[in-house]
Amino acid sequence: MFVGKLALHCIIWDMEAEGLFKHPCCLVTKIKRLQFAQEHKDWTVEHWKKVMWSDESRFQLHHADGRVSIWRKQHESMHPICMNTTLQAGEGSVMVWGMFSWHDLGPLIRVEQSLNSTTYLSIVADQIHPIMLMAYPNGDGFFQQDNETCHGARIVQECFQEHEGDFTLLRWPPQSPDLNPIEHLWDEVKRAIRQLVPQPSNLTELDSAIHQAWCQIPRITFQHLVESMPRRIALVLKAKGGPMKY
């Protein structure tokens, strides 16, 4: 499916009115988000139950005041102009990669330093592939990932191609954390850690707290998030591919 000329012109007019046309990357993002929403506008909750969602997040530890502040990836805040935020500096952090579906929470994998193609390849082989086979044995599952550089690495793409009969890789639009329900699970973890007394005082305690908070997320919480997908798609259509608050 493609965006017609009239729809494209409407998007351009909207962006001109917003003063954003000077940012061509934003126009491309808006079009791709609109395309994704159009392609999935008829998906029901039953369709979205077939999707395994994934993401990585960095949790920052601040020793100065004894509080844990959690900062996520640079593109996680949505704005009509091209996103450009900065990860706050701290005295240490823990990065984790996670996945979940309507049916269950997947594992959290601690990532040392940053997620590169080699590390992600091992996650694909050791976690994603076997879990997708177990969750969707008929090969009708979809795996969602965002557009991080390591996800598009040649060695990673070749691995996915080797298993293309086992599940389908969901084509994901750029700059779309608002469409990924896992973002709300990171918020759940954040709130749980902030309520801890005492707060984690080192990275080992922070890592343990992250995993414990993840495992304690109620089933009804992540199921409701997946069930929100038709509404999210409708909001993106209403915004003509622009960002939406959810």
What is the per-residue pLDDT across 32-43, written as a single tens digit (0 to 9) for each?
999 999 999 999
Residue 69 in this model has a pLDDT that exceeds 70: no
Lowest-pLDDT range, 5-19, 135-149, 215-229?
Answer: 5-19
Residue 100 in this model has a pLDDT that exceeds 60: yes
Residue-range definition of the domain harbouring residue 170? 51-59+92-239
What is the per-residue pLDDT across 184-220, written as a single tens digit (0 to 9) for each?
999 999 999 999 999 999 999 999 999 999 999 999 9
pLDDT band, residue 113 (cuts 50/70/90): confident
- Give me the pLDDT at residue 246, please: 74
Q: Can you give the pTM of this predicted structure?
A: 0.80
- Give me the pLDDT at residue 56, please: 97
- Give me the pLDDT at residue 62, please: 64
Question: What CATH number should be reported for the domain holding residue 181?
Answer: 3.30.420.10
Q: How many residues does the chain have?
A: 246
Using an 8 Å Cβ cutoff, are 235 and 246 in contact? yes
Q: In the block, which residue shows the tokens 């973890």?
A: 189
- Give me the pLDDT at residue 245, please: 82
Phi, psi dihedral angles at 58 (to 5 degrees): -105, 130
Instruction: Please report whether residue 118 resides in a domain.
Output: yes
Instruction: Please report whether residue 70 resides in a domain.
Output: no
What is the per-residue pLDDT across 79-92, written as a single tens digit (0 to 9) for each?
443 443 333 433 59
Using an 8 Å Cβ cutoff, are 160 and 124 in contact? yes
- Give me the pLDDT at residue 86, please: 35
Domain count, the chain: 1
Instruction: Please report whether residue 24 resides in a domain.
Output: no
pLDDT band, residue 31 (cuts 50/70/90): very high
Instruction: Please report whether residue 147 resides in a domain.
Output: yes
Q: Is 214 exposed, middle or buried (0-12, 13-18, 19+ CB in 10 A)?
A: buried
pLDDT band, residue 63 (cuts 50/70/90): very low
Instruction: Please report whether residue 86 resides in a domain.
Output: no
**How far is the CA of 103 from the CAs of 134, 135, 158, in angstroms?**
12, 8, 28
Instruction: Please report whether residue 172 resides in a domain.
Output: yes
Using an 8 Å Cβ cutoff, are 229 and 45 in contact? yes
Instruction: Please report whether residue 71 resides in a domain.
Output: no
Instruction: Please report whether residue 117 resides in a domain.
Output: yes
